Amino acid sequence: MTDEVILRVKDLRTYFSTDEGIVKAVDGVSFELRKGETLGIVGESGSGKSVTNLSIINMIPSPPGKIAGGEILFMGEDLLKMPAKDIRRIRGNKISMIFQDPMTSLNPFLRISSQMTETIVLHQGLDKQAAKAKAIEMLRLAGIPAPEKRIDQYPHQFSGGMRQRVMIAMSLSCNPEILIADEPTSALDVTIQAQILDLMKDLTARLGTAVILITHSLGVVAGMCDTLCVMYAGRVVERGATEALFAAPMHPYTQGLIKSVPRLDVAATGERLSSIRGQPPNVIDLPDCCPFYPRCDKAMEVCRRKYPPSVDFGASGGPVAKGHTASCWLYSEAK
Amino acid sequence: MKADKAERVDAQVNEFDQAMKPVSLWADAWRRLKKNKMAFAGLYIVTFYIVVSMLAPILPIYSYEDQVIAHTNLPPSLRPAGEVMIETRVAYMRKVLKAEARSSFNEKEEAEIAAMKADVAVNPDHKRVYVLGTDNLGRDMLSRTLYGGRISIMIGLVGTITATLVGILLGSIAGYAGGRVDNFIMRFVDILYGLPYMLIVIIMMAVFGKNILNLFVAIALVSWLTLARVVRGQVISLKNAEFVEAARSMGASPARIVFRHLTPNTLGVIVVFATLLVPDFIMSESFLSFLGLGVSAPLASWGSLVSEGANTMELYPWQLLVPAIAMTLFLFAMNFLGDGLRDALDPQSKNRL
């Protein structure tokens, strides 16, 4: 991990117009990704994690979706202003994605070889033979036994974990700068999850790929990520180095999330596992308030009036706290 | 030893070194189709028809347009035409005899029989054998049915191929693009749907003249509508599938996604639909020919043969039955094949058979 920032998302806003009103799925998200860094994005369903990442490669279904504002700077270029043709050259080549369900993300009618070489031929300009050799090499790296034989098979001849390995091999085959993994292990059974995560960690470290890992699971991010973004109702509520965030969560939502994970290292006291009460809000026509206040134990009067500014804890804390920010009125003087 | 090695290279091996075959979805469907006896019989019959139609010009049959005036309306028989001709004529005369309550032929009738016998003895034409009888102009029904089938099947296939190509193209564009493009194409389809199909074809045939090319054009023009709708529906339901999203995230262009990822996935439905479309075209061509708007003499199609046969069906039933049975058999076979393909390609029925 170096300090070179390859992706800078600034104040990204992605809205969906529906019959009920405008859904502000992503409302002012900013973060940075350094070369080789692994960034985790956690949050509940509907908090805007996936939409943020689809926005990055400009794949929001439009209509009804629309990127209403913000900038996405990839190596200094704004992806949002790029014509469709150029962005296709970035997708799969510089930024690639792994999807949640490996059972449906491979085309059932095409052999693995044609799906993999398709991408390699398109982006790297290799001929079919060379592309196939490269694909076999990638499958071997992804831990698929006898790849030169398996490559001619169809997706339904692979198990879920194997398919996810194929997806990983495919998405890394053009040596991308960034790999976006949208809940890559949610659809797999637990015995495979750890293997897949290890594989991703190992391969991306070897290839120097930066990873954006979207997940529900705090356990996954704790093991994988360098930095963490906690999203709630379309906004990043807390951001910081993984260690700092787990050691000293600042935002009440992050605290609630961490508390609601069962822990083995704390002796069982027979207490019930704590949970965050209530439901996440509907993001249609949300007033200018902290979206978390109805569920927050520490809510104050100001919380229902105005969205809190982001507070940087980097100055007060040690070196791990560098860049640790949270958006909460608890820490803000400007009430 | 060498063969053994080659075999091992071919065989697919899984993690446990157990041999695996790369089974494509098509191979799988083929396996299931083979288990369906009716469908397979249909496949045989259809193949037989197509082969025979293609080979018609080199088969040892009489020309479909040869008229032998003496041999009009002969019934099916394996004996030479001369014998059959005299026999039918004599049988007819006996009938007259009975009706007129006479006991023997008169001079004129005797003379006619003698003349026929003399002619049969010298004229080689009378050695012809009409296995399926002749029509009212003395043409061989077997040959006419074969050539009629040639045209009918050709119309069925040409119609289906055009319908499939145009349907896939417009349907998948409409389905994938959505929005205004979709609206435009589908409203155009709706308009064509709204117009009475037969009327358009009849008008076209009347305006541009009765020839076989116009018949093709007329049928093809209105044939792709349903298929375009079917393909569009399929594409819409597939375009949000994750593998399409994955392909997009890999940088595939829209054209590539539509024609490489989406259309192959709809092919199962299209194949089934197309097989069921062939009988449809043959039926509509028959209908047109029956109305006198189809192919014109001396060419024949099953429809025109049935139409001609229907005029004389009380006296010479074989003129109706031969083409009607030939056509029905083909349509049955085609429908069974279509049904079988639907079952074979339907993933729902995958574990049933």
Closest residue in chain A to residue B241, using alpha carbons only? A104
Edge to edge, the sheet with strand A77-78 lists A21-34, A5-18, A65-74, A77-78
B18 touching chain A per CB within 8 A: no
* Most B-contacting residue of A58, A93, A105, A112 (CB-CB within 10 A), to test interface: A105
Query: What residue spans of B56-80 are helical by DSSP H?
Result: none
The predicted pLDDT at position B48 comes to 92
- Look up the pTM and report it: 0.72
Of B350 and B164, which is predicted with more confidence?
Answer: B164
Rg of chain B over all Cα atoms, to the nearest angstrom? 28
pLDDT at B194 over 80: yes
Subunit contact A107:B265, Cβ cutoff 8 A: yes
Position B353 confidence tier, pLDDT thresholds 50, 70, 90 = very low
3-state helix, strand, coil in chain A (%, to 5): 35, 25, 40
Give chain B positions within 8 Å (CB) of A170. Answer: 250
B17 touching chain A per CB within 8 A: no
Give chain A positions within 8 Å (CB) of B345. Answer: none
- SS (HEC) of B129-147: ECCCCECCCCCEHHHHHHH
Of B246, B251, B264, the CB nearest to A89: B251
Task: Enter the tokens of residue B8.
Answer: 């091992």
B211 touching chain A per CB within 8 A: no
Is-contact B288 B107, C-beta < 8 A?
no
The predicted pLDDT at position A319 comes to 57
Q: How far does the CA of residue B238 sit from the closest CA of chain A (Å)?
A: 11
| Mean of pLDDT values over B196-204 | 79
The predicted pLDDT at position B6 comes to 40
How confident is the prediction for chain B on average, in pLDDT? Answer: 81
Q: Is residue A102 part of a domain?
A: no
Of A92, A100, A109, the CB nearest to B251: A92
**How far apart, in whole angstroms, are the C-alpha atoms of residue B75 and residue B207?**
39
Q: How far does the CA of residue B280 sit from the closest CA of chain A (Å)?
A: 29
Position B244 confidence tier, pLDDT thresholds 50, 70, 90 = confident
Half-sphere exposure of A330 (CA within 13 A, CB side): 17
Give chain B positions within 8 Å (CB) of A171. Answer: 250
Subunit contact A122:B252, Cβ cutoff 8 A: yes
- Architecture in CATH for domain B45-60+145-349: Orthogonal Bundle (1.10)
* Dihedral angle over CA of B56, B60, B65, B66, nearest 10: 180
The predicted pLDDT at position A50 comes to 85
**How far apart, in whole angstroms, are the C-alpha atoms of residue A264 and residue A30?**
34
φ, ψ of residue A219 to 5 degrees: the values are: -60, -40
pLDDT at B22 over 60: no
Closest residue in chain A to residue B347, using alpha carbons only? A108
Where is mean pLDDT largest: A35-44, A280-289, A318-327, B242-251?
A35-44
pLDDT at B198 over 50: yes
Is-contact A91 B244, C-beta < 8 A?
no
Q: How far does the CA of residue B23 sit from the closest CA of chain A (Å)?
A: 7
Exposure string for B52-70, b = 16+ CB within 10 A, e = fewer: ebeeeeeeebbebeeebeb
pLDDT at B183 over 90: yes
Lowest-pLDDT range of A9-23, B4-18, B77-91, B164-178: B4-18
B15 touching chain A per CB within 8 A: yes
Give chain A positions within 8 Å (CB) of B264. Answer: 107, 109-110
Of A63, A92, A150, the CB nearest to B250: A92
Q: Is residue A253 part of a domain?
A: yes
pLDDT at A335 over 70: no
Closest CA to B258 of B242, B273, B238: B238
Of A269 and B307, which is predicted with more confidence?
Answer: B307
**How far apart, in whole angstroms, are the C-alpha atoms of residue B84 and residue B72?**
11
The predicted pLDDT at position B187 comes to 93
| Mean of pLDDT values over A167-175 | 87
Give chain B positions within 8 Å (CB) of A57. Answer: 249
B92 touching chain A per CB within 8 A: no
The predicted pLDDT at position B255 comes to 85
pLDDT at B193 over 80: yes
- Amino acid in position A65: G
Closest residue in chain B to residue A117, using alpha carbons only? B250
Closest residue in chain A to residue B246, using alpha carbons only? A105
| Mean of pLDDT values over A328-332 | 80
Closest residue in chain A to residue B19, using alpha carbons only? A149
Of B123 and A41, which is predicted with more confidence?
Answer: A41
Beta-sheet pairing, A95-98 with A178-182:
parallel
Subunit contact B261:A93, Cβ cutoff 8 A: no
E strand intervals along B262-327: none
Q: How far does the CA of residue B229 sit from the closest CA of chain A (Å)?
A: 22
Q: Is residue A300 part of a domain?
A: yes
Of A59, A99, A152, the CB nearest to B22: A152
Subunit contact B251:A170, Cβ cutoff 8 A: no
Subunit contact A145:B264, Cβ cutoff 8 A: no
* Most A-contacting residue of B25, B243, B345 (CB-CB within 10 A), to test interface: B243
Q: Is residue A185 part of a domain?
A: yes
Q: Is residue A66 part of a domain?
A: yes
Lowest-pLDDT range of A180-184, A258-262, A271-275: A271-275
Subunit contact A106:B12, Cβ cutoff 8 A: no
| Mean of pLDDT values over B312-341 | 87
- Amino acid in position A88: R
Closest residue in chain B to residue A101, using alpha carbons only? B242
B102 has which bridge partners? Answer: none
B9 touching chain A per CB within 8 A: no
Percent of chain B with pLDDT over 70: 90
pLDDT at B1 over 50: no
**How far apart, in whole angstroms, are the C-alpha atoms of residue A236 and residue B110?**
113
**How many structural domains does chain A have?**
1
Q: How far does the CA of residue A15 sit from the closest CA of chain B (Å)?
A: 19
Q: Is residue A127 part of a domain?
A: no
| Mean of pLDDT values over A316-321 | 59
B62: left (phi over 0), alpha (psi -120 to 50) or beta: beta
Give chain B positions within 8 Å (CB) of A167. Answer: 246
The predicted pLDDT at position B2 comes to 42
B297 touching chain A per CB within 8 A: no
Q: How far does the CA of residue A320 sit from the closest CA of chain B (Å)?
A: 34
A261: left (phi over 0), alpha (psi -120 to 50) or beta: beta
Range of the domain at A46: 5-94+174-263+273-331
Q: Is residue A114 part of a domain?
A: no
Subunit contact A96:B250, Cβ cutoff 8 A: yes
Helix axes B212-223 and B197-208, enclosed angle (nearest 10): 150
Q: Is residue A128 part of a domain?
A: no
Give the H/E segment covering residue A18: strand A5-18
Beta-sheet pairing, A210-215 with A178-182:
parallel
Dump pLDDT digits (tens) for B41-95: 999 999 999 998 888 888 877 777 777 777 777 788 778 878 888 888 888 888 8
Q: How far does the CA of residue B67 sit from the closest CA of chain A (Å)?
A: 55
B245 touching chain A per CB within 8 A: yes
**How far apart, in whole angstroms, are the C-alpha atoms of residue B132 and residue B143?**
9
The predicted pLDDT at position A4 comes to 79
B23 touching chain A per CB within 8 A: yes
3-state secondary structure of B16: coil
Dump pLDDT digits (tens) for A71-92: 888 888 888 888 888 888 888 8
Subunit contact A91:B242, Cβ cutoff 8 A: no
What CATH number corresponds to the domain at position A21? 3.40.50.300
Give the H/E segment covering residue B19: strand B19-20
Interface A-B: count of C-beta contacts within 8 A = 90
| Mean of pLDDT values over B206-214 | 78
Position B10 confidence tier, pLDDT thresholds 50, 70, 90 = very low
* Most A-contacting residue of B15, B234, B240, B250 (CB-CB within 10 A), to test interface: B250
What CA–CA distances, in Å, run from B47 to A2, B53, B74, B151, B330?
Answer: 68, 10, 30, 16, 10
The predicted pLDDT at position B47 comes to 92
ipTM: 0.74
pLDDT at A320 over 80: no
Give chain B positions within 8 Å (CB) of A101. Answer: 242
Which residues does A contribute to its contact with B (CB < 8 Å)?
A: 57, 59, 61, 63, 88-93, 96-97, 99-101, 104-111, 118-119, 122-123, 145-146, 149-150, 152-154, 156-157, 167, 170-171
Of A138 and B220, which is predicted with more confidence?
Answer: A138
Identify the residue whose tokens are 């804390």. A317
What contacts B96, CB < 8 A, 6 or more positions away?
none
The predicted pLDDT at position A316 comes to 60
